[in-house]
Amino acid sequence: MSRMKILNAVEQEQFESPPVFNSVQRKQYFDFSSELLTLAQDLQTSTNQVCFLVSCGYFKAAKRFFPNRRCSRRDLDYVAQQLGFQPESIDVNSYSATTRLRHERLILDFYGFRPFDSTAKSFVAGEIEKLARSQLQPALILWRIVDSLVKEKIEIPGYYPLAELILAAVNTRKAELCAIIERALTARTREALDELLVQGSAGEDEPVPAKTAAYKLTLLKKLSQSTKPSKIRETISVKAKVLASTALSTSGTCCFTRQSSVPPSGRAPT
């Protein structure tokens, strides 16, 4: 599988990091109901209580969980003071992975969310497959899936599980399209397409193409967006001359010239 980057390094770091709250947001997301406070008070240590409630605040804001080491010290101190603990008494290193996973299940139940398990993974894979068929960019697929997870009340996983599913779907779709093209291209059409990658001559007096001469394909890519009849006729004429020098069929030529004559609005000029 090719290793395509969906998000760059900075974007990945932001995706994997807890939300950064200002003072107003901190009060908003760390304002806990009496039911949540009761759940926290039943936990054994002050560190467990504080880390549990900080995870609640992060989940309330981001709909996902984050490793202990990524918790903001300012957030930990704020919640500790709310509970009447000394901030320096909170040691996130003593907050074990087993305890954290147990607390995450409590938080999911409290907010009415499902974990990102095998069932959720199958759902996401199906959604990604649909989006990949729409030829969307991988980054856009990622954010569409995040929105779908929130809508379906499913925990948002880390970046890499989603990236692997997206890349697998994109590569599968590319392989399908390549197979379709391979089956559909005739020998004559292949030769015609190859001719579009030939450099044109620099002029009538120079039949041999110069090193900087444009390829025939580049002439087809330069589409005028003008809706003036004279410009449209000129565009069609140029495309037709280029295509006439290849072995493309009449239907192929018509396809290119029609596309050249359609303005940005998507409607043919009248």
Read off the pLDDT of residues 155-173 as tens digits, 9 standing for 90 and up.
999 999 999 999 999 999 9
Q: Is the pLDDT of residue 183 over 70?
A: yes
**Angle 59-61-64 from CA coordinates, rounded to 5°:** 35
Q: Is the pLDDT of residue 140 over 50?
A: yes
Q: Rounded to two decimals, what is the model's pTM?
A: 0.72
> What is the structure's pLDDT at 269?
41
How many Å apart are CA 251 and CA 267, to the nearest integer? Answer: 20
- The residue-averaged pLDDT of 183-193 equals 82
How many Å apart are CA 49 and CA 39, to the nearest integer? Answer: 9
**Angle 58-5-146 from CA coordinates, rounded to 5°:** 35
Q: Which residues of 94-117 are buried (b: 16+ CB within 10 A; e: fewer)?
A: ebeeebbeebbebbbeeeebebbe
In the chain, the amino acid numbered 167 is: L
Packing angle, helices 250-260 and 229-244, rounded to 10 = 150
Lowest mean per-residue pLDDT among 6-15, 34-43, 178-187, 231-240: 231-240
